[in-house]
Structure 1
Amino acid sequence: MRIQLTKYGLFVAALLLAGISASAQQSGSSNKYIRKGNELYNKQQYTDAEANYKKALEQNAQSAIGSYNLGNSLYQQKRYDEARAQYANSLKEAKKENVKSDADYNIGNTFMENKKWEESIKSYKQALKINPNDEDARYNLAYAQAMLKKQQQQQNKDNKDNKDNKDNKDKNKDKNKDKDKNKDNKDQDKKDQDKKDQDKKDQDKNKDQNKDQNKDNKDKDKQNQQQDKPEPQPSKLNKQEADRLLQALSQEEKKLQDKNKKVKGQVVPVEKDW
């Protein structure tokens, strides 16, 4: 089943009255340009047809048929906004219901071309209100409603995806914050541990230095003690001389004892440590 996009039927203006009045002459000139425009339109010469419809409207600006057909020529050139304006003019000036219904229908088509589904739905409903038997308007209405529903579903899906993406970004952001915080904590723990290790090294180093200092002090004390202790002096007498000296002392002591027994214990001093 096809989508009916545009009603291409063109209204051929008929001369309603014959006369010599100015209004009749204007109407005749306007209709002449409309007929010429219709010929060109049917040959798919839409630009030239547009020019003739505009000339018709210059002669009679209230021509509903001139505005409607101009709208069709603009539609064929994909100038949808301009075409919609001419259909609106036609709708305002039209006296016949079929012209009004077709104008609403084609206004709906211009909205559909721009994927403005809600606006096109309103126009098709208005066309059906005027002409309930317009099956093309009924079909386009159903199509626009289906497209609007699809668009809304896609928007809901996009909104959900965006929300999920935002939630995921927030979660990742929180994870990154926690990760950074953990990293900072680890870095601080490492710094604290490095400081402890350095303090221990410094303590060990101080202990070693103290130990070395104590050892040096002990060595110095020992050295000082050794320096304070008298060194043994070598004997100035040889063995024979010592023996003679002892013998002489022994004889002298005996003499003193014999001479004065009251004197006791007086001896000739001798050098120590010999």
Structure 2
Amino acid sequence: MKRIVVGIILFMSSVIYSQNKDKNLFNGTESFTGKKYISAETDFRISQSNNEEKKAVANYNLGNSIYRQNQPGEAKYKFLNAVEVAKTKEEKHKAFHNLGNTLMLEENYSGAVEAYKNALRNNPSDDETRYNYALAKQKLKENPPKDDKEKKKDKDKEKQDKDKKDQDKKEKEDKGKEKDKKDSDKGKEDDKKKEGDDKKGKQDGDKKEDENGNPKPSGANKQQIENLLNAVNNAEKKIQDKVNAKKVKVAPSTNEKDW
């Protein structure tokens, strides 16, 4: 496949003009010729800002400098600016031609076709523009632009893919949160169960033994035990009193007569 005929050519008239009035335009042209494209860009930007009379020349040359730095996307806007302020057919032809080149690199073949067509309207005899125009039409035929339905279909598919990705991410996050909650609830249940077992063990120990280590009757509280012990003690005291009373009655008399 034949390559695009780039056809980037500086305005030769600008060199003569710049020698008299625009030092930056002249210096930029010299730097561009010496392939110092960054320096050329700087001078052309200054010239673009200061020289209204030759603004089309400065924009065109600025676009060329940026293009040579492999930045066709930015250069495109400078060529568009050159087209807007161009005053002669020659200026318009060259600006449209290089605008077409940048659009070809972006694979915007329909835009490139229109740019080359406009370049030919201003200079029908330029063979490079004519060749690029034919090449752009061939590329456009091989790569027809998508209609609105196809564009909408692509956008819908992109949206569906994004929605599915977001949904999968949300489900994954929800599962993680649910697992964390289950683990937390299980931990709380285990703690409660352990606490209940400890409390039950303590209660069982309290039921089985009193403070002196004596077994406690099942279900008896402290007050009941004290009442029971008091009753037993009272009963024993009554029995002891009765025994003592009998001993007094049966004791022999120890009284003796005085002789």
Q: Residue 26 of structure 2 is aligned with which of 32, 35, 45? A: 35
Q: Residue 106 of structure 1 is aligned with which of 76, 88, 98? A: 98
CA pair 60-9 structure 1, distance change in 2 beyond 3 A: closer
- 1:139 and 2:166 correspond: no
> Residue 108 of structure 1 contacts residue 124 of structure 1 at CA under 8 Å; is this kept in 2?
yes
- The count of aligned residue pairs is 147
RMSD: 2.7
1:14 shift after superposition: 6.3
> Residue 91 of structure 1 contacts residue 100 of structure 1 at CA under 8 Å; is this kept in 2?
yes
Name the counterpart of 1:10: 11
Name the counterpart of 2:70: 78
Name the counterpart of 1:264: none
1:81 shift after superposition: 2.5
Question: Residues 85-125 of structure 1, C-alpha deviation per residue, up to 9 Å, x if partnerless?
Answer: 11122222222211111101111111001111000000001
Name the counterpart of 2:142: 150
Structure showing greater radius of gyration is 1
One-letter code aligned to 2:49: E
One-letter code aligned to 1:104: F
- The residue matched to 1:13 in structure 2 has which SS? helix
1:43 shift after superposition: 1.3
> Residue 37 of structure 1 contacts residue 50 of structure 1 at CA under 8 Å; is this kept in 2?
yes
One-letter code aligned to 1:141: Y
Give the Cα–Cα distance (whole angstroms) in 2 for the partners of residues 14 and 113 of structure 1.
29
Q: Residue 52 of structure 1 is aligned with which of 43, 49, 68? A: 43
> Residue 37 of structure 2 contacts residue 68 of structure 2 at CA under 8 Å; is this kept in 1?
yes
One-letter code aligned to 1:66: A
Give the Cα–Cα distance (whole angstroms) in 2 for the partners of residues 13 and 119 of structure 1.
29
Give the Cα–Cα distance (whole angstroms) in 2 for the partners of residues 85 and 14 of structure 1.
23
Name the counterpart of 2:89: 97
Question: Residues 198-231 of structure 1, C-alpha deviation per residue, up to 9 Å, x if partnerless?
Answer: xxxxxxxxxxxxxxxxxxxxxxxxxxxxxxxxxx
> Residue 108 of structure 1 contacts residue 120 of structure 1 at CA under 8 Å; is this kept in 2?
yes
One-letter code aligned to 1:40: S
Give the Cα–Cα distance (whole angstroms) in 1 for the partners of residues 41 and 3 of structure 2.
28
> Residue 7 of structure 2 contacts residue 128 of structure 2 at CA under 8 Å; is this kept in 1?
no
One-letter code aligned to 1:48: S
Runs of 5+ consecutive residues of structure 1 not aligned to the other structure: 17-25, 160-274
Give the Cα–Cα distance (whole angstroms) in 1 for the partners of residues 15 and 129 of structure 2.
27
Give the Cα–Cα distance (whole angstroms) in 2 for the partners of residues 42 and 132 of structure 1.
27
1:146 shift after superposition: 1.1
Runs of 4+ in 1 over 4 A off after TM superposition: 26-29
- The residue matched to 1:115 in structure 2 has which SS? coil
Name the counterpart of 2:109: 117
1:27 shift after superposition: 10
One-letter code aligned to 2:59: S
One-letter code aligned to 2:64: N
> Residue 56 of structure 1 contacts residue 66 of structure 1 at CA under 8 Å; is this kept in 2?
yes
Runs of 5+ consecutive residues of structure 2 not aligned to the other structure: 151-259
Give the Cα–Cα distance (whole angstroms) in 2 for the partners of residues 139 and 5 of structure 1.
10
CA pair 93-65 structure 1, distance change in 2 beyond 3 A: same
1:13 shift after superposition: 2.6
Give the Cα–Cα distance (whole angstroms) in 1 for the partners of residues 50 and 12 of structure 2.
17
One-letter code aligned to 1:102: K
1:56 shift after superposition: 1.1
Question: Residues 169-205 of structure 1, C-alpha deviation per residue, up to 9 Å, x if partnerless?
Answer: xxxxxxxxxxxxxxxxxxxxxxxxxxxxxxxxxxxxx
Give the Cα–Cα distance (whole angstroms) in 1 for the partners of residues 132 and 118 of structure 2.
12
Give the Cα–Cα distance (whole angstroms) in 2 for the partners of residues 71 and 52 of structure 1.
12
CA pair 40-15 structure 1, distance change in 2 beyond 3 A: closer
Question: Residues 220-243 of structure 1, C-alpha deviation per residue, up to 9 Å, x if partnerless?
Answer: xxxxxxxxxxxxxxxxxxxxxxxx
Give the Cα–Cα distance (whole angstroms) in 2 for the partners of residues 150 and 59 of structure 1.
44
Give the Cα–Cα distance (whole angstroms) in 1 for the partners of residues 23 and 102 of structure 2.
28
Give the alignment of 1:1-274 within 5 angstroms: 2-13=3-14, 31-63=22-54, 64-152=56-144
CA pair 62-86 structure 1, distance change in 2 beyond 3 A: farther
Q: Using structure 2 for the length normalisation, give the TM-score.
A: 0.51
